[in-house]
Amino acid sequence: MATLTLVADPLIAGHPPQRSIRRLRVTAWALQRMLRTPTRLPVAWRTVHFATRLDRVRSQLLPIRSLAALADSYTREHGTDDTAVRLAYGLRWLELSGVLDERPWRLHCTPHPR
Protein backbone atom coordinates (compact mmCIF):
# COMPACT_ATOMS: atom_id res chain seq x y z
CA MET A 1 0.00 0.00 0.00
CA ALA A 2 1.35 3.45 -0.93
CA THR A 3 1.66 6.09 1.70
CA LEU A 4 0.65 9.66 1.08
CA THR A 5 3.14 12.27 2.22
CA LEU A 6 1.83 15.77 2.69
CA VAL A 7 4.22 18.63 2.17
CA ALA A 8 3.19 21.80 3.94
CA ASP A 9 3.03 24.98 1.94
CA PRO A 10 5.87 27.17 3.36
CA LEU A 11 3.64 30.24 3.60
CA ILE A 12 0.90 28.32 5.39
CA ALA A 13 3.33 26.54 7.70
CA GLY A 14 4.86 29.88 8.68
CA HIS A 15 8.25 29.24 7.06
CA PRO A 16 9.50 31.81 4.55
CA PRO A 17 10.52 30.42 1.15
CA GLN A 18 14.20 29.52 0.92
CA ARG A 19 14.67 31.77 -2.11
CA SER A 20 13.70 34.85 -0.08
CA ILE A 21 15.94 33.85 2.81
CA ARG A 22 18.83 33.23 0.44
CA ARG A 23 18.36 36.66 -1.19
CA LEU A 24 18.23 38.34 2.22
CA ARG A 25 21.40 36.56 3.37
CA VAL A 26 23.23 37.48 0.15
CA THR A 27 22.16 41.10 0.53
CA ALA A 28 23.40 41.14 4.13
CA TRP A 29 26.70 39.50 3.17
CA ALA A 30 27.31 41.94 0.31
CA LEU A 31 26.38 44.89 2.51
CA GLN A 32 28.76 43.74 5.23
CA ARG A 33 31.60 43.59 2.70
CA MET A 34 30.78 47.01 1.25
CA LEU A 35 30.61 48.63 4.68
CA ARG A 36 34.22 47.65 5.35
CA THR A 37 35.14 50.53 3.03
CA PRO A 38 32.20 52.94 3.13
CA THR A 39 33.75 55.26 0.53
CA ARG A 40 33.21 52.49 -2.03
CA LEU A 41 29.45 52.56 -1.53
CA PRO A 42 27.58 53.96 -4.52
CA VAL A 43 27.28 57.73 -4.26
CA ALA A 44 23.48 57.49 -4.44
CA TRP A 45 23.48 55.36 -1.28
CA ARG A 46 25.36 58.06 0.63
CA THR A 47 22.84 60.83 -0.04
CA VAL A 48 20.66 62.29 2.70
CA HIS A 49 17.54 61.37 0.72
CA PHE A 50 18.52 57.70 0.44
CA ALA A 51 19.58 57.54 4.11
CA THR A 52 16.21 58.98 5.15
CA ARG A 53 14.31 56.40 3.07
CA LEU A 54 16.41 53.50 4.35
CA ASP A 55 16.15 54.59 8.00
CA ARG A 56 12.38 55.02 7.65
CA VAL A 57 12.07 51.36 6.60
CA ARG A 58 14.63 50.23 9.16
CA SER A 59 12.77 51.97 11.99
CA GLN A 60 9.76 49.80 11.17
CA LEU A 61 11.98 46.71 11.38
CA LEU A 62 13.47 47.53 14.81
CA PRO A 63 10.72 45.69 16.77
CA ILE A 64 11.70 42.47 14.95
CA ARG A 65 14.00 40.53 17.27
CA SER A 66 14.73 37.28 15.40
CA LEU A 67 16.18 36.35 12.03
CA ALA A 68 13.20 34.05 11.37
CA ALA A 69 10.71 36.88 11.93
CA LEU A 70 12.82 39.19 9.76
CA ALA A 71 12.91 36.60 6.97
CA ASP A 72 9.15 36.20 7.23
CA SER A 73 8.66 39.96 6.95
CA TYR A 74 11.08 40.11 4.03
CA THR A 75 9.08 37.44 2.22
CA ARG A 76 5.97 39.60 2.49
CA GLU A 77 7.87 42.68 1.21
CA HIS A 78 9.76 40.74 -1.46
CA GLY A 79 7.43 42.07 -4.17
CA THR A 80 9.14 45.44 -3.98
CA ASP A 81 12.59 45.70 -5.50
CA ASP A 82 13.36 49.01 -3.86
CA THR A 83 17.07 49.24 -3.03
CA ALA A 84 16.41 51.14 0.21
CA VAL A 85 13.98 48.44 1.37
CA ARG A 86 16.36 45.61 0.44
CA LEU A 87 19.31 47.29 2.19
CA ALA A 88 17.21 48.08 5.27
CA TYR A 89 16.42 44.38 5.60
CA GLY A 90 20.07 43.47 5.01
CA LEU A 91 21.16 45.98 7.62
CA ARG A 92 18.65 44.64 10.14
CA TRP A 93 19.89 41.09 9.42
CA LEU A 94 23.43 42.20 10.30
CA GLU A 95 22.20 43.94 13.45
CA LEU A 96 20.31 40.86 14.63
CA SER A 97 23.33 38.70 13.83
CA GLY A 98 25.48 40.89 16.08
CA VAL A 99 27.69 42.06 13.21
CA LEU A 100 26.61 45.71 13.36
CA ASP A 101 25.16 47.94 16.03
CA GLU A 102 21.83 49.73 15.67
CA ARG A 103 22.65 53.18 14.34
CA PRO A 104 21.41 55.36 11.48
CA TRP A 105 22.53 54.46 7.95
CA ARG A 106 24.51 57.68 7.46
CA LEU A 107 26.79 56.71 10.35
CA HIS A 108 27.52 53.38 8.67
CA CYS A 109 28.49 55.31 5.53
CA THR A 110 31.06 57.43 7.32
CA PRO A 111 34.64 56.25 6.88
CA HIS A 112 36.06 54.64 10.01
CA PRO A 113 38.86 56.52 11.76
CA ARG A 114 42.15 54.66 11.49
- Write the CA distances from 57 to 15, 40, 50, 91, 93, integer angstroms: 22, 23, 11, 11, 13
Domain contains 38:
yes
Domain limits for position 22:
17-108
Say how many CA atoms lie within 13 Å of 88 toward its Cβ. Answer: 25
Domain contains 11:
no
Is the pTM for the entire model greater than 0.85?
no
Residues 10-56 pLDDT 10s: 444 455 567 778 888 999 999 999 998 888 899 999 999 999 999 99
Domains contained in the chain, number = 1
Q: In angstroms, rounded to a whole number, what is the distance separating the alpha carbons of residues 106 and 114?
A: 18
Q: In angstroms, rounded to a whole number, what is the distance separating the alpha carbons of residues 109 and 114?
A: 15
Residues 86-112 pLDDT 10s: 999 999 999 999 888 888 888 888 766
Domain contains 2:
no
